[in-house]
Amino acid sequence: MFKSLGRLTALGLLALLALGAVTTASAGDLQGEIEKVGETYARAYLAPFMYSFGPNLNSGIFHTAAIPKSRLTLDFGVKAMATQLNDADKAFQKTMTVDDLGDYSDDPAMQGVPGDIVMSGPTVFGDEDAEGSITGYVNGVQVFSNATIAGLISSSYSPMAVPQASLGGVAGLRLTVRYLPEIDAGDVGKVKLSGFGGSWNANSVMPTLPVDVMVGYFKQSFSVGTLVDAEATSMYLAASRSFSVLTLYGGYAKESSEMTIAYVPTDGSAGVSFTVDDGQESRITVGATLNVLAKLNIEMGHGDLTTYTAGLLFGF
Amino acid sequence: MKKMINPIAALLMAALLALGLLAGGCESDATAPQDPAPALSEEGAATQAGLVAMAIVQVGPDMISFSEPTKQVYSRTFAGDISGTVYLDFRVGANGVPATWAVGNWVRMYTGAADPLIVTIGNAGGTAQLGLDVNAALNRVDSSAVVGGGGTFSTGPYSAAFTLTDLAIASAAGYPTGGSMTFTGAGYTITVTFDGTNIATVTVSGLGTWYVNLDTGVVSQTG
């Protein structure tokens, strides 16, 4: 029994270390890229990442609505999420009419000249081999063009993985935590993840319900040094029904998320900080959990964005 | 709450559910900005047409002044504010038999399909692209030509097409002495008329009249 628990713990630690390494490398690369551009470009470039981060965090919080009234349950493992990106999110185009093109060009001739700015190129999930550009126009004629940055990871999905553990079975309550020990990410700073929440199973007071029903709340925070600071919360209502080793579940959640990006551009201009907080506000979730030795769980959540989640959990 | 079913059936149900989730998944909304190109004003359209007129004035005389007597396949590479290569196909009569430069009295000047002339604007990477497919009846006596045909223009997200009508040019004189260019793009139809001076008149589909300096390409409301 203790030998098995030791192996499970080792597996969990390996997953966390792998997660930390990926997060550290990605954060370093991301910071290195966006430091080359200003706020407006960074907002557009990072939009798919920033808008998918909250839906990812708010995924996979539960995998059943069944919580015993008086039998202890414990599970821990990893949830991996991937928010599907719209095909258009591989690239962006942001346009502005400005009073001074000199703010976007080193050419002295552009100082004080009004015109149009077109920022375009791959997003963070776009083409890794194609550079974007900031282009200035005066009366419909291109007067300057500056190359910017390429995509960081060419992908149709915004991925994430988090370690998760739950303890439940007292008065129909279950506590869930997500936690990543602080990992030093070098120049980027420290990577931190923490989240906690609780669920309550209503069958403890309404035992005649044909399915398990629960309500819950979950709050998370994630940061990478001073570069990324994110929070996400979810309030959910869920139902499930078990068939032998299979549990089917579904739910509805009201959720919110906020992400702040802060960095100092390499061109010596003032520090940049901006926040995205108008992301997905609700979702419906359907999923299934197969309980054979371990709990294998798949789920789809759909709101403004669609997020797929897979979980591998151990416990009893 | 639990009902016993066959574990294999449970696995099949899970697999079916997984397939259903993946195959029937709903598409995510787009999150990255996808702004349209800035709307082009009539002054902008006039500026684009003026730029093309300036380029035609610089490149066009080569149809007359080009000289390489021994070959039948010719090309001319430009460098500077207008760069790139044009090809010249001399004929005897319009689309007649191929001829050398010395014998031909009709010429087609064109750019490669994916290799337009590049017009450099300013010193910081501003460019426009000019695809040419023009032709001219050559008068060898007074070294003049009457040019027709047309081409394409693009700069960033903007694109347009143009046609030349009876554009009269001479190798000696710097500016076309007559004829016009019709430029169509972004919903505007623009007519540029030439009068032998370095200023051509740009009329934007009844919306206004502008003037282009054919030496600089600068468009203004005063001639």
Q: Is the CB of residue B89 less than 8 Å from the CB of residue B110?
A: yes
Any chain B CB within 8 A of the CB of A121?
A: no
A246 and A119 in a single domain? The answer is no
In which band, very low, low, confident or very high, does the pLDDT at A267 lie, cut at 50, 70 and 90? confident
A274 and A178 in a single domain? The answer is yes
In which band, very low, low, confident or very high, does the pLDDT at B9 lie, cut at 50, 70 and 90? low
A193 and A116 in a single domain? The answer is no
pLDDT tops 90 at residue B167: yes
C-alpha span between B25 and B18 (Å, rounded): 10
A168 and A134 in a single domain? The answer is no
pLDDT tops 50 at residue A66: yes
pLDDT tops 70 at residue B163: yes
Give me the amino acid identity at B44.
G
A117 and A140 in a single domain? The answer is yes
pLDDT tops 80 at residue A210: yes
pLDDT tops 50 at residue A14: no
- The interface residues of chain A toward chain B in range 168-227, judged by CB-CB distance below 8 A, are 203, 211-212
Element spanning B219, H or E: strand B219-220
A254 and A277 in a single domain? The answer is yes
The backbone region for B54, taken as left when phi is positive above 0, alpha when psi lies in -120 to 50, beta otherwise, is alpha
The pLDDT tens digits of the residues spanning B126-137 come to 899 999 999 999
Q: What is the pLDDT of residue A4?
A: 45
Residue B54: count other Cβ atoms within 10 Å of its Cβ: 23
Q: What is the pLDDT of residue A221?
A: 95
Q: What is the pLDDT of residue A242?
A: 92
Tokens of A191: 């990577």
A66 and A199 in a single domain? The answer is yes
Vertex A109: Cα angle to A104 and A114 (nearest 5): 60
A162 and A274 in a single domain? The answer is yes
Q: Is the CB of residue A80 less than 8 Å from the CB of residue A160?
A: yes
C-alpha span between A265 and A39 (Å, rounded): 9
pLDDT tops 70 at residue B13: no
Residue of A142, A148, A248, A285 to mutate when probing chain B, most B C-beta within 10 A = A142
Q: Is A37 helix (H, G, I), strand (E, B) or coil?
A: coil
How many structural domains comprise chain A?
2
Q: What is the pLDDT of residue B1?
A: 45
Q: Which of A86, A93, A203 has the CB atom closest to B33's CB atom? A: A93
pLDDT tops 70 at residue B24: no
Residue A100 belongs to what domain range? 88-123+130-150
Instruction: Measure in Å the smallest separation between the Cα of B113 and chain A Cα atoms.
Output: 22
A177 and A137 in a single domain? The answer is no
- Arithmetic mean of pLDDT, A293-297: 93
Tokens of B13: 């149900």
A14-28, A199-213, A214-228, A289-303: segment of lowest average pLDDT:
A14-28
pLDDT tops 60 at residue B21: no
A37 and A70 in a single domain? The answer is yes
Spatial CA neighbour of B156 closest among A154, A112, A103, A121: A121
Comparison of pLDDT for A267 and A23, the residue scoring more: A267
pLDDT tops 50 at residue A15: no
- Arithmetic mean of pLDDT, A2-9: 44
- Arithmetic mean of pLDDT, A149-154: 92
Element spanning B147, H or E: strand B144-155
- Arithmetic mean of pLDDT, A250-261: 96
pLDDT tops 60 at residue A29: yes
Pick the residue from chain A with its C-alpha nearest to B124.
Answer: A144
- Arithmetic mean of pLDDT, B169-192: 90
Q: What is the pLDDT of residue A204?
A: 83
Q: List C-alpha distances in Å: A55 to A255, B43, B156, B201.
A: 8, 46, 35, 58
The pLDDT tens digits of the residues spanning B36-64 come to 999 999 999 999 999 999 999 999 998 98
C-alpha span between B25 and B153 (Å, rounded): 43
Percent residues over pLDDT 70 in chain A: 90
Q: What is the pLDDT of residue A184?
A: 77
Q: What is the pLDDT of residue A19?
A: 53
Tokens of B18: 């997984």
Q: List C-alpha distances in Å: A251 to A213, A240, A303.
A: 9, 9, 12
C-alpha span between B100 and B97 (Å, rounded): 10
pLDDT tops 90 at residue A92: yes
Q: What is the pLDDT of residue A189?
A: 72
Q: What is the pTM of this model?
A: 0.83
Pick the residue from chain A with its C-alpha nearest to B47.
Answer: A139
Residue A137: count other Cβ atoms within 10 Å of its Cβ: 27
Q: Is the CB of residue B118 less than 8 Å from the CB of residue B135?
A: no
Q: What is the pLDDT of residue A7?
A: 45
In which band, very low, low, confident or very high, does the pLDDT at A13 lie, cut at 50, 70 and 90? very low
User: Hey, are the CB atoms on B25 and A300 less than 8 Å from each other?
Assistant: yes
Q: What is the pLDDT of residue B201?
A: 96
A264 and A242 in a single domain? The answer is yes
pLDDT tops 70 at residue A151: yes
Q: What is the pLDDT of residue B17?
A: 60
pLDDT tops 60 at residue A1: no
pLDDT tops 60 at residue A156: yes
Comparison of pLDDT for A74 and A30, the residue scoring more: A74
The pLDDT tens digits of the residues spanning A104-137 come to 998 999 999 999 999 999 999 999 999 999 999 9
User: Hey, are the CB atoms on B28 and A85 less than 8 Å from each other?
Assistant: yes
Q: What is the pLDDT of residue A10?
A: 44
Q: How many CB pairs under 8 A join A and B?
A: 172
A102 and A240 in a single domain? The answer is no
In which band, very low, low, confident or very high, does the pLDDT at A8 lie, cut at 50, 70 and 90? very low
Give me the amino acid identity at A280.
Q
Residue A171: count other Cβ atoms within 10 Å of its Cβ: 13
Spatial CA neighbour of A151 closest among A89, A195, A99: A89
In which band, very low, low, confident or very high, does the pLDDT at A237 lie, cut at 50, 70 and 90? very high
Partners of B5 on chain A (C-beta within 8 Å) are: 243-244, 246
The pLDDT tens digits of the residues spanning B90-114 come to 999 998 999 888 889 999 999 998 9
Pick the residue from chain A with its C-alpha nearest to B128.
Answer: A142
Residue with tokens 């920033």: A50
Q: What is the pLDDT of residue B179?
A: 96
